Chain A
Amino acid sequence: MEKQLALQMRGITKRFGPVVANNHVDLDVYRGEILAVLGENGCGKTTLMNMIAGIYFPDEGQILIDGKEVVIRSPKDAFEHKIGMIHQHFKLVDLFTAAENVVLGTESKEKYNLKAVNAQVAQIAERYGFRLDPAKKIYDMSVSEKQTVEIIKVLYRGADILILDEPTAVLTPQEITRLFDVLRRMKEDGKSIIIITHKLNEVMEVSDRVAILRRGEHVATVNTAETSETELTEMMVGKKIDLNIHRSAPVNAIPRLVVENLNLYNTEGIHVLKDISFTANGGEILGIAGIAGSGQKELLESISGLQPVESGKITFYNPKKDRPVSFFHKSMKQVRALAEKGAFHDRNLNDVTFHGMSNKAVRKWVQNGDVLFREDEVMNLRDKTPLEIRQLGVHLSFVPEDRLGMGLVGSMDITDNMMLRSYRKGKLGFLNRKKPKAQAEEIIRELEVSTPGVSTPVRRLSGGNVQKVLVGREIAYTPKVLMAAYPVRGLDINSSYTIYNLLNRQKENGVAVIYVGEDLDVLLELCDRILVINGGAVTGIVDARTTTKEEIGLLMTKTDERKEEDA
């Protein structure tokens, strides 16, 4: 069977100011094939696709459809050439039904005949094996259903070339399998499908050919059957990479953070965390898996003191029994107050009260290491603000999901961002930038942050480097508990592995690491235990070494399925 060319790109170049996003890229897409476009972040995948979809206009080069040169100046032009793109962020009207969204913006007169439209939508859905009720409102839909609507919208307009931008990022394993079935059926129907992704296993599973981009240039297009994951990575990154996460067995894991029956209502009064209980151990990575928006963000934020909880306990354990007291986290006043309560004893198990002793004598005694804690420190973190938690001496680090909107200040330079947690240390109301600057320089060196210097605003850095700065700062705080929400989202392979290694090193140092992730393969390889959350409730805590992706996938949708059956 002779393959027919559907789309050709010849010497496409696109620049943004001095940045060359695509440099003379040539790409062919045939009828009836699935082409995966693979590349690290910032390699120009999305830019290239946006030029086919009419969002950007190329500076140079030609686009040919069915062998004829065409001009695509707007998404409307793209539709005229039967090209449809499904974006990462859905563009749907929440209050409309699936069918209404599908006909929205088309010029056909039929669009006022909803019955006919419903029938047509149902027909398309059946033809390709989608599961969709055309009369369902968008706000009632799961992410995967919304994506289905987007795809049908494009098909309804007669698209023969479909571009999907990272369609699997938001789906569960089961939904991904279903999506791939649909894609295969569309392929058999003669459609051309371009799928952008950076998950190698998906590329291997679904595509016929793979086009690899690196730094805006087209490296190669290979047949999927003739390549391997390692080879693809090498082409993508330009060098060999060790794709293994070196997970060590937890060494003397002790409870650090205990959450019991935590309940939280958000500002709209919705019950977002339901009776959450778990223990995070020091020297262990606890993964949190779940569909995006299942309460992961709220959980971490309520632990770190950003959201006032309704009920439940958050307790921090500091194993201090029979260990020396130090001034590391405590002031003289706090040490004396604790002594007054009988928290300390000396080497001979006698009470230490410091009565009648000068500060100097106390300091000397403590620094000799002869004053010991009688009990482990147990601290209640509930209803404490982030500042109060800090003042308690609890080193709780948090790498939030929203890096530039929460973890860092985009317009400030690296030094000033280092200061975010420590700026209060300066004398007399003035800032002291000396230490933060040294710290910034150390992080740049240690984590190989590529930046012109410490005084570059972090907004100017690439995603991976922004994250290195944030994680670096949180680790420099010498945490006892380190919480990270989607720390590798949007990062290229190299940076992702840097982050995994950093987390592993923290775990080996005895830190309790809590890792919220979306890539199940990574969760399985990196974590020791995985907590699965759905709709704000814990649906299971499993051993990462023995569980499977399917088991986690089922737990991720556990109550949802039940609801569907009820309905």
Chain B
Amino acid sequence: MSTVKKNEVREPLIHLSKRTSVNPVRAWAIRIAAIVMGLIVCGLVAFLLIEKLNAHPEKIGDFYTAFIKGSFSTSRKFWKFLKNIAILLCVSLALTPAFRMRFWNIGGEGQTLVGVLGAIAVDFYLGGKIPEWLLLILMFIAALLTGAVWGVIPALFRAKWGTNETLFTLMMNYVATFLVSYFLVIWVPSGSSSLGKLKYGKLPSIGNDYLLIILVVVALAVALYIYLNYTKHGYEINVVGESVRTAQYVGINEKKVIIRTMILSGALCGLAGYLIAAGLDQTVTTESAGGQGFTGIMVAWLGKFNPLAMILTAALIQLLNQGAAQISQDFDVSGAFPNVIVGIILFFIIGSEFFINYEIHFRGHHGLAEAGKEAVK
């Protein structure tokens, strides 16, 4: 006799199966449900951690309205909201061609930062000595060029020696930061290492200070959408990203495509740096890119590398950021609290992808039994 230990029939408690097709309506329902659940969990966490809320549970309504308040309560906040979306979107758009090619460029932060540095360097040395319009053009060229150089270095190494681009681009971020520190020491010998706002090199205001930036980035989103979907370059990027073997098979020089695309990706990060330098700050610090190079990665992933969808994901992330900042202001909590909130909600959004792609069956629930019977017919 065989050594049969268990004789009663027992299904495993849970088993997973991959969905063969994704119904877009269901997918969006799951995503929205995930955000709602994330917000509920945020409320619970807030209730536990924030004293003000703990003492007055009726204020929980204020907690949620703060999300809206953070971006929409005043016209100034609303413009700031749009401007922040634009800069974040610009960085994520810059990363998208690389990501489509499965080149994991996580150096957007550094590429943006050197873009700022390049623009400000031109501003610092030439500001006031040449006409403002020429200065702005030179700053533009400098920002794009430095960004492109920062992007192409890891690409060259990858193409020539097969180095890992993830580590390489990440390390280049630190090099960029220290490069900025270095120039700050040279430019500001006094020791404060703070450059202060420069007088020249400011983008003109058209109606609103931020409108030009916003328009540029919207145009970029549309242009990139066309580039990726309707041009030969975009097609080559997709082929190389999907399979280098296929690329070789049809005679695409994948090294050339990688280098070309990283020049583009870096240059667009440089453009984001230019918008920060000439459009907003007129100065550079080691924090000029403000972590957007990393947040941008998330925006691009959530938007499935579709430039138009990324407008929405950038807006969502920005809404959360500003809402959370509003909460920490209204409820008098530490500056770390917004990060907790944003983290919880992103956790739910990213987790929802699992439920979009997989189906979970519990023991005893034969939800699909009907479908099976129909198939028999």
A407 and B376: CB pair below 8 A?
no
A406 and B12: CB pair below 8 A?
no
Tell me which residues across on chain B come within 8 A of A59, comparing CB atoms.
Answer: 361, 366, 368, 372
B359 interfacial by beta-carbon distance below 8 Å: yes
Near A by CB (< 8 A), chain B positions 14-50 give: 15, 17-21
B56 interfacial by beta-carbon distance below 8 Å: no
Return A439 CB to nearest CB of chain B, in Å.
15
B2 and A400: CB pair below 8 A?
no
Q: Which of B6, B7, B8, B372 contacts A20 (CB 8 A)?
A: B372
Tell me which residues across on chain A come within 8 A of B4, comparing CB atoms.
Answer: 68, 70, 80-81
Tell which of B134-142, B173-181, B242-250, B292-300 binds the partner. B242-250
Tell which of A115-123, A339-347, A415-423 binds the partner. A415-423
A421 and B372: CB pair below 8 A?
no
Q: How far is the CA of A416 from the CA of B230 in the complex (A)?
A: 11
Tell me which residues across on chain B come within 8 A of A60, comparing CB atoms.
Answer: 366, 369, 372
Q: How far is the CA of A60 from the CA of B235 in the complex (A)?
A: 46
Q: Which of A62, A80, A406 contacts B249 (CB 8 A)?
A: A406
- Please judge, given known A-B contacts A23-B372, A390-B251, A409-B242, whether A57 and B11 are in contact too, CB under 8 Å: yes
B248 and A420: CB pair below 8 A?
no
A494 interfacial by beta-carbon distance below 8 Å: no
Tell me which residues across on chain A come within 8 A of B243, comparing CB atoms.
Answer: 405-406, 409-410
A15 and B249: CB pair below 8 A?
no
Question: Per-residue CB proximity of A408-441 to B under 8 Å, as 1/0?
Answer: 1111100010011101101001110000000000
Return B35 CB to nearest CB of chain A, in Å.
25
Question: Per-residue CB proximity of A300-337 to B under 8 Å, as 1/0?
Answer: 00001110000000000000000000000000000000
B10 interfacial by beta-carbon distance below 8 Å: yes
B219 interfacial by beta-carbon distance below 8 Å: no
Q: How far is the CA of A24 from the CA of B375 in the complex (A)?
A: 11
B233 interfacial by beta-carbon distance below 8 Å: yes
Near B by CB (< 8 A), chain A positions 1-46 give: 13, 15-20, 23-24
Return A416 CB to nearest CB of chain B, in Å.
7
Tell me which residues across on chain B come within 8 A of A408, comparing CB atoms.
Answer: 246
B250 and A420: CB pair below 8 A?
yes
Q: How far is the CA of A71 from the CA of B359 in the complex (A)?
A: 23
Output the residue of A17, A305, A385, A408 with the most chain B CB within 10 A. Answer: A17
A18 and B20: CB pair below 8 A?
yes
Return B169 CB to nearest CB of chain A, in Å.
24
Return A282 CB to nearest CB of chain B, in Å.
24
Chain B, Cβ-Cβ closest to A421? B250
B246 and A409: CB pair below 8 A?
yes
Q: How far is the CA of A419 from the CA of B231 in the complex (A)?
A: 12
B249 and A398: CB pair below 8 A?
yes
Return B151 CB to nearest CB of chain A, in Å.
21
Chain B, Cβ-Cβ closest to A66? B2
Q: Which of B20, B234, B252 contacts A17 (CB 8 A)?
A: B20
Tell me which residues across on chain A come within 8 A of B230, comparing CB atoms.
Answer: 430-431
B238 interfacial by beta-carbon distance below 8 Å: yes
Q: How far is the CA of A107 from the CA of B230 in the complex (A)?
A: 60
Tell me which residues across on chain A come within 8 A of B366, comparing CB atoms.
Answer: 59-60
Q: Which of A62, A385, A412 contacts B9 (CB 8 A)?
A: A62
B20 and A429: CB pair below 8 A?
no
Return B376 CB to nearest CB of chain A, in Å.
6
A82 interfacial by beta-carbon distance below 8 Å: yes
Q: How many residues of A contact B (CB 8 A)?
A: 52
B239 interfacial by beta-carbon distance below 8 Å: yes
B190 interfacial by beta-carbon distance below 8 Å: no
A521 interfacial by beta-carbon distance below 8 Å: no
Return B292 CB to nearest CB of chain A, in Å.
28
Q: Which of A15, A19, A69, A81 contacts B2 (CB 8 A)?
A: A81
Q: How far is the CA of A405 from the CA of B248 in the complex (A)?
A: 11
A429 and B233: CB pair below 8 A?
yes
B372 and A13: CB pair below 8 A?
yes
Tell me which residues across on chain A come within 8 A of B242, comparing CB atoms.
Answer: 409-412
Chain A, Cβ-Cβ closest to B233? A429
- Please judge, given known A-B contacts A17-B19, A81-B2, whether A407 and B246 are in contact too, CB under 8 Å: yes
Q: How far is the CA of A81 from the CA of B5 in the complex (A)?
A: 10
Tell me which residues across on chain B come within 8 A of A411, comparing CB atoms.
Answer: 238, 242
A234 interfacial by beta-carbon distance below 8 Å: no
Tell me which residues across on chain B come within 8 A of A70, comparing CB atoms.
Answer: 4, 7
B232 interfacial by beta-carbon distance below 8 Å: yes
B336 interfacial by beta-carbon distance below 8 Å: no
- Please judge, given known A-B contacts A24-B376, A65-B2, A81-B4, whether A306 and B248 are in contact too, CB under 8 Å: yes
B73 interfacial by beta-carbon distance below 8 Å: no
A419 and B235: CB pair below 8 A?
yes
B359 and A17: CB pair below 8 A?
yes
Chain A, Cβ-Cβ closest to B5? A80
Chain B, Cβ-Cβ closest to A420? B250
Q: How far is the CA of A416 from the CA of B239 in the complex (A)?
A: 10
Tell me which residues across on chain A come within 8 A of B361, comparing CB atoms.
Answer: 59
- Please judge, given known A-B contacts A68-B7, A406-B243, A420-B239, whether A73 and B12 are in contact too, CB under 8 Å: yes
Tell me which residues across on chain A come within 8 A of B231, comparing CB atoms.
Answer: 429-431
B3 interfacial by beta-carbon distance below 8 Å: yes
Return B5 CB to nearest CB of chain A, in Å.
7
- Please judge, given known A-B contacts A23-B376, A80-B4, whether A17 and B17 are in contact too, CB under 8 Å: yes
Tell me which residues across on chain B come within 8 A of A420, comparing CB atoms.
Answer: 239, 246, 250
Q: How far is the CA of A15 from the CA of B19 in the complex (A)?
A: 11
B371 interfacial by beta-carbon distance below 8 Å: yes
- Please judge, given known A-B contacts A69-B7, A71-B6, A409-B242, whether A416 and B235 are in contact too, CB under 8 Å: yes
Return A21 CB to nearest CB of chain B, in Å.
11
Return A356 CB to nearest CB of chain B, in Å.
37
Output the residue of A62, A65, A430 with the most chain B CB within 10 A. Answer: A430
Tell me which residues across on chain B come within 8 A of A419, comparing CB atoms.
Answer: 235
Return B230 CB to nearest CB of chain A, in Å.
6
Q: How far is the CA of A71 from the CA of B10 in the complex (A)?
A: 7
Tell me which residues across on chain B come within 8 A of A17, comparing CB atoms.
Answer: 17-21, 359
Question: Per-residue CB proximity of A67-83 to B under 8 Å, as 1/0?
Answer: 01111010000001110
Q: How far is the CA of A80 from the CA of B2 in the complex (A)?
A: 7
Near B by CB (< 8 A), chain A positions 378-411 give: 385-388, 390, 398, 400, 402, 405-411
Chain A, Cβ-Cβ closest to B361? A59
Tell me which residues across on chain B come within 8 A of A20, comparing CB atoms.
Answer: 371-372, 375
Return B175 CB to nearest CB of chain A, in Å.
32
B2 and A82: CB pair below 8 A?
yes
Return A216 CB to nearest CB of chain B, in Å.
8
Return A405 CB to nearest CB of chain B, in Å.
6
Tell me which residues across on chain B come within 8 A of A416, comparing CB atoms.
Answer: 235, 238
Return B37 CB to nearest CB of chain A, in Å.
24
A386 and B233: CB pair below 8 A?
no
Tell me which residues across on chain B come within 8 A of A81, comparing CB atoms.
Answer: 2, 4
Q: How far is the CA of A386 from the CA of B359 in the complex (A)?
A: 43
B235 and A423: CB pair below 8 A?
yes
B238 and A409: CB pair below 8 A?
yes
Chain A, Cβ-Cβ closest to B239? A409
A16 and B20: CB pair below 8 A?
yes
Chain B, Cβ-Cβ closest to A306? B248
Tell me which residues across on chain A come within 8 A of B20, comparing CB atoms.
Answer: 16-19
Q: How far is the CA of A290 from the CA of B321 in the complex (A)?
A: 63
Tell me which residues across on chain A come within 8 A of B7, comparing CB atoms.
Answer: 68-70
What are 28 A-B residue pairs whose CB atoms fall within 8 Å in the complex?
A15-B17, A15-B372, A16-B17, A17-B17, A17-B18, A17-B21, A18-B21, A59-B361, A70-B4, A71-B6, A71-B8, A80-B2, A80-B3, A80-B5, A386-B251, A405-B243, A405-B245, A406-B249, A412-B238, A416-B235, A419-B235, A423-B235, A426-B232, A429-B231, A429-B232, A429-B233, A430-B230, A431-B232
| Known contacts A80-B4, A80-B5, A423-B232; 18 further A-B pairs (Cβ under 8 A) | A16-B18, A17-B20, A18-B20, A57-B12, A70-B4, A71-B9, A80-B3, A81-B4, A386-B250, A386-B251, A409-B242, A410-B242, A410-B243, A412-B242, A420-B239, A421-B250, A429-B232, A431-B230
Interface residues of B (CB under 8 A from A): 2-12, 15, 17-21, 230-235, 238-239, 242-243, 245-246, 248-253, 359, 361, 366, 368-369, 371-372, 375-376
